[in-house]
Amino acid sequence: MYKHRKFLLILFVIAFMLFLAACSSGGNDSESAGNDESAGGAAEQVLKIANDQEPAGLDPHITPAMSSVRVYSKIYSTLVEFDENMELTPDLAEEWDWSDDTTLVFQLREGVIFHNGDEVTADDVVYSFERILDENTGSHIASYFSSIDSIEATDTFEVTFHLTGPDATILTNFTNASAAIVNESVVEENGDLQQVAVGTGPFKLEEWVPDNRVTLSKNEDYYMEGQPVLDAVEYYTMVDEAARLSAIRTGEVDMTTLTGQSAQLVDGSEGINVMEYQSLEYSYAGFDMNHEILSDEKVRQALSLATNRESIATIVWDGQATVTGPIAPSMGDWSIDVTEHELYSNDLDKARELLDDAGYPDGFAIEITTASTYDDMIDTAQLLQQQWAEIGVDVTIKQVEWGEYLDIWTNTSADILIGRNGSGSDPDRAMNYFFNSNGSANVWGFADEEYDEIVQNGKTTIDEAERHDIYTEAQNYLLDKSPNLFLVSPMNYVVARDTVENYEPYPHNSEDIMETTIN
Partner 1 sequence: MPGNPIGVTQRGRAFLILDIKKSLDLHRIFLKGENMYAYIIRRLLMVIPVLLGVSIVIFFTLRVIPGDVAQTILGTSATEESLAALRGRFGLDLPVYEQYFMWISGIVIGDFGVSMRTGAEILPEIISRFAITFELTMLAAIISWIVAIPLGIIAGIRRNTKTDFSVRIISLFGVSIPNFALATILILILSLAFNYSPPVGYVGFFADPVTNLKILFLPAFVLGTAMAGAVMRMTRSSILEILRQDFIRTVRAKGVKERIVIFNHAFKNALIPILTIIGMQVGVLLGGTVIIEQIFSLPGLGQMVLTGINQRDFTVVQGAILFIAFVFMLINLLVDLLYSYLDPRIKYK
Q: Checking DSSP bridges between strand 484-486 and strand 416-422, what pairing results, if any? A: unpaired
At closest approach, how far in Å is the CB of 244 from partner 1?
A: 9
- According to DSSP, residue 329 is labeled G
Q: Is 499:519 a contact under the CB 8 Å cutoff? A: yes
**Residue 17 contacts partner 1 per CB under 8 A:** yes
Residue numbers 384-423 binding partner 1 by CB under 8 A: 400-407, 409-410
Q: Is 174:78 a contact under the CB 8 Å cutoff? A: yes
**Residue 441 contacts partner 1 per CB under 8 A:** yes
Stretch that binds partner 1, among 242-250, 311-319, 389-397, 479-487 (CB under 8 A): 242-250
Burial label for 5, CB within 10 Å (0-12, 13-18, 19+), is exposed
CB under 8 Å to 246, separation ≥6 — which residues? 252
At closest approach, how far in Å is the CB of 17 from partner 1?
A: 7
Is 12 or 98 the residue whose CB approaches partner 1 more closely? 12
Q: Is 230:218 a contact under the CB 8 Å cutoff? A: yes
Applying CB under 8 A, among 62, 80, 180, 377 the residue interacting with partner 1 is: 62
At closest approach, how far in Å is the CB of 246 from partner 1?
A: 4
**Residue 103 contacts partner 1 per CB under 8 A:** no
At closest approach, how far in Å is the CB of 413 from partner 1?
A: 10
Nearest to 61 by CA among 193, 205, 204, 196: 193
The CA distance from 7 to 476, in Å, is 81
Burial label for 140, CB within 10 Å (0-12, 13-18, 19+), is middle
Applying CB under 8 A, among 84, 240, 367, 375 the residue interacting with partner 1 is: 240
- According to DSSP, residue 417 is labeled E
Residue numbers 443-482 binding partner 1 by CB under 8 A: none
Applying CB under 8 A, among 102, 160, 246, 314 the residue interacting with partner 1 is: 246
Is 213 or 497 the residue whose CB approaches partner 1 more closely? 213
Is 242 or 465 the residue whose CB approaches partner 1 more closely? 242
Query: What values do phi and psi take at 216, rounded to 5?
Result: -115, 140
Stretch that binds partner 1, among 91-99, 131-139, 163-171, 376-384 (CB under 8 A): 131-139
**Residue 12 contacts partner 1 per CB under 8 A:** no
**Torsion sign across C-alpha atoms 394, 400, 402, 407:** negative
Applying CB under 8 A, among 54, 91, 376, 512 the residue interacting with partner 1 is: 54
At closest approach, how far in Å is the CB of 54 from partner 1?
A: 6
Nearest to 62 by CA among 50, 72, 52, 74: 72
Residue numbers 165-204 binding partner 1 by CB under 8 A: 191-192, 194-195
Residue numbers 255-314 binding partner 1 by CB under 8 A: none
At closest approach, how far in Å is the CB of 133 from partner 1?
A: 10
Applying CB under 8 A, among 69, 71, 75, 142 the residue interacting with partner 1 is: 142
At closest approach, how far in Å is the CB of 211 from partner 1?
A: 4
Contact letters for partner 1, residues 476-515 (x by CB under 8 A): ----------------------------------------
Stretch that binds partner 1, among 132-140, 160-168, 221-229, 476-484 (CB under 8 A): 132-140
**Residue 438 contacts partner 1 per CB under 8 A:** no
Q: Is 280:423 a contact under the CB 8 Å cutoff? A: yes
Is 76 or 344 the residue whose CB approaches partner 1 more closely? 76
The CA distance from 230 to 318, in Å, is 35
Stretch that binds partner 1, among 31-39, 78-86, 89-97, 330-338 (CB under 8 A): 31-39
Q: Is 237:53 a contact under the CB 8 Å cutoff? A: yes
**Residue 141 contacts partner 1 per CB under 8 A:** yes
Q: How many residues bind partner 1 (CB under 8 A)?
A: 78
**Residue 372 contacts partner 1 per CB under 8 A:** no
3-state secondary structure labels for all residues of 470-504:
HHHHHHHHHHHHCCEEECEEEEEEEEEECCEECCC
Q: Is 490:283 a contact under the CB 8 Å cutoff? A: yes
Q: Checking DSSP bridges between strand 255-258 and strand 46-51, what pairing results, if any? A: parallel
At 67 the three-state DSSP class reads helix
**Residue 27 contacts partner 1 per CB under 8 A:** yes
The CA distance from 308 to 152, in Å, is 52
At closest approach, how far in Å is the CB of 109 from partner 1?
A: 29
Applying CB under 8 A, among 75, 112, 247, 488 the residue interacting with partner 1 is: 247
At closest approach, how far in Å is the CB of 343 from partner 1?
A: 25
9-34 in b/e form (b: 16+ CB < 10 A) is: eeeeeeeeeeeeeeeeeeeeeeeeee
Residue numbers 34-53 binding partner 1 by CB under 8 A: 34, 48, 50
Is 111 or 271 the residue whose CB approaches partner 1 more closely? 271
The CA distance from 56 to 507, in Å, is 22
Contact letters for partner 1, residues 202-231 (x by CB under 8 A): -------xxxxx------------------
**Residue 151 contacts partner 1 per CB under 8 A:** no
At closest approach, how far in Å is the CB of 518 from partner 1?
A: 16
Q: Is the peptide bond before 64 cis (omega within 30 degrees of 0)?
A: no
Query: What values do phi and psi take at 276, rounded to 5?
Result: -125, 150
At closest approach, how far in Å is the CB of 442 from partner 1?
A: 11
At closest approach, how far in Å is the CB of 376 from partner 1?
A: 17
